[in-house]
Structure 1
Amino acid sequence: MKQRRPVAAALAVAGYVVMIVPILFVVATAFTGGSTLRFPPEGVSLQWFEAAFAYSPFISAMVSSLQLAALATFFALLLGVPATLAIHRGRLPGKGLVEGLFLSPLIVPELVVGLALFQQLMIGLRLDNFTVLLVGHTVLMLPYAVRVTGASLALADPFVEEAARGLGASPLRTFFSVTLPLLRPGIFSAALLSFVTSFNNVPLSLLLQSRDFRTLPVTMLDYVQQSYDPMVAATSTIILAGTVLVAVVAERTVGFARIFGGINR
């Protein structure tokens, strides 16, 4: 028999309300026929979605955000997957310390990371803004690559890899034929989380951006400081719809519950 926990259930409902209701307000405002951000909306119209698609700063910033998120995700996985294999399958001394080092960007404030990168790479080494911004986003995405792929690897049976080696497969062939297919759901989930997180990042992008390269969230923040029309709400709704669509497809093809269930192991 399941135990009833009314306090926990009430807190869970309150948490969902606090998270979801503001989003519903933004979505409803995006379809307003009025000229200002206000709730309830004045009629129903798609005019602000049309304005968002026609506003060139948003389009160019979206392309920049997509490029940055894709590159940061790629490099985070390129570094994170071998690190995960070394932590969970290798004979690495101090595995807990190494894993904690890769997960540390989750607890360090992003502004602190951005300031350190600004001082060391932009002022010290005189690297361009995009390179430093890419390094920063890659560092912030590393915990997702290590933790989520590590959860996928924790769900896998290590004796399968040992059996492949016992049958004569080389370590490289074992990786591509056995280990990589076992890691594929975790890699896909980590890539999705990293991409979405990098795309929506504000603090680091705000600190390290340049005039020539601006991300969409920062451009939207600048716009809402100057204008009070619902075009930002329409753009946010488009981003939300795309994120939900990708998440649903990923859940149907990979299964987030199965991957994240291994994180607590």
Structure 2
Amino acid sequence: MARKPLVDIFIPCFIDQLLPETGMNMVKVLKRVGCEVRYNPNQTCCGQPAYNAGFYNESLEIANKFLDDFISEESNYVVSPSASCVGHVRGACAEMFVTSPRFISYRGLEKKTFEFTEFLTKVLDIEKIPGARFEGKVTYHDSCSALRECKIAAGPRALLHYVEGLELVEMAETSTCCGFGGTFAVKFDAISVAMAQQKVENALATGASAIVSTDSSCLMHLDAYIKKNKIDLKVMHIADVLASGW
């Protein structure tokens, strides 16, 4: 009997602190499709916030801890419900480790690190999650990291297409940034809010009841605008959609 794929899960800071149910739903789906899932409680952050704020030495220190936490010859893959974190591991970390004696170890880890939907569709070749059901019309938001850093676009849509009861409708300018951008939302708050407004208005124009994405950071930013303006629209991480109905 073939061994189940052994997956180490990396849970981003936002999900760990604010949306733990999304992490649990990712685990639920991974087990549903036959993976053996492992969680290292020593994990912390990938170092992206420090890097984006210009604290490169501190970010490298965190990246080295990330490497220590996930370097393992036992596991086949590292999977995260965040294209933003995976994009950082593939991009910024490569730059930081290029002159490090640990570069070869880093490259080994990088090659087996995947965003959740990317892992399902490109590694496991799965587009339909058994039992997934969600009644309603949704629209999908392409996060900047998913689309530009990880080249993820078709996979999430394919997964949503096979969810029973779900109708997927495309919004205008789906690839335009939502305005979060980490520290961008703090430093340029007026522009950030205007971009969130545009994204929400485009979503509402489709008649969808929810915005779905691969990145909780985008969804949190949009949800803050939605709630402040008392708009009848939900946000959902794709892992929560795929874990619905069973």
TM-score range, shorter chain: under 0.3
Q: Which has the higher contact order (CA 8 A, sep 6+)?
A: 1
Q: What TM-score does the superposition give when structure 2 sets the normalisation length?
A: 0.27
- More helix as a share of residues: 1
Structure showing greater Rg: 1
Higher strand proportion (structure 1 or 2): 2
